[in-house]
Structures are given as structure tokens and as C-alpha cells.
Amino acid sequence: METVTLSSKGQLVIPKAVRDDAHVSAGCRLEVRYVEGEIRLRPLLERPVSSLAQVAGCLYRPERKLLSEADAKAAIRAKLKARHAP
């Protein structure tokens, strides 16, 4: 276990071995939480933004029955009603 010292500005240096193990480097964003007496740092996954063209058709399955627009809207309404029901 390595130890670090908090600076007067509230900054600390994460030891290189820990950075390497966690695959973080300069500029990586970290989530900071205080949980049950512990300060926890977790790297945030940087997800690339996808365009509609990149993902169009990714849910297509040939065996899936196509819904009419009216049936699709009815199904969405039913799901929303169920989600917001008391």
C-alpha cells in the first residue's frame, strides 16, 4: 500500500504504479465519492459519441415482426403508462 499527502490546495498525486494499474493518465476524468469513511476514485469511461449513421440498423432482426406506426405508438404509450402507474 502506498501513501500520499494532500497539498494545501487539496491536491494529491496518484502514484505511478497505481495509475498504470488503473490505466489512467493525464487528462483522464475520475469520479470521486465518499462512501462509509473512504474516499473512492473511479476512472470514468470515455465513450465516443456515435452518429445515427453508425448505429442505424443495429437492432434489426430479420425474424422480428414489423409494427405499424400506430402499433409502435400504442406500445410506447402502454410502456410509459405502466412505468408511471402508482
Q: What is the CATH number of the domain that holds 22?
A: 2.10.260.10
41 in any annotated domain: yes
CA-CA distance, 4 to 12, in Å (whole number)? 7
Q: Give the residue numbers spanning the domain of 40.
A: 1-45
70 in any annotated domain: no
Domain count, the chain: 1
73 in any annotated domain: no
31 in any annotated domain: yes
22 in any annotated domain: yes
The tens-digit pLDDT sequence of the chain (86 residues) is 889 999 999 999 999 999 999 989 998 999 999 999 999 999 998 777 788 888 888 888 888 888 899 999 999 999 999 888 77
User: Any idea what DSSP says for residue 63?
Assistant: T
Is 70 in contact with 55 (CB distance < 8 Å)?
no
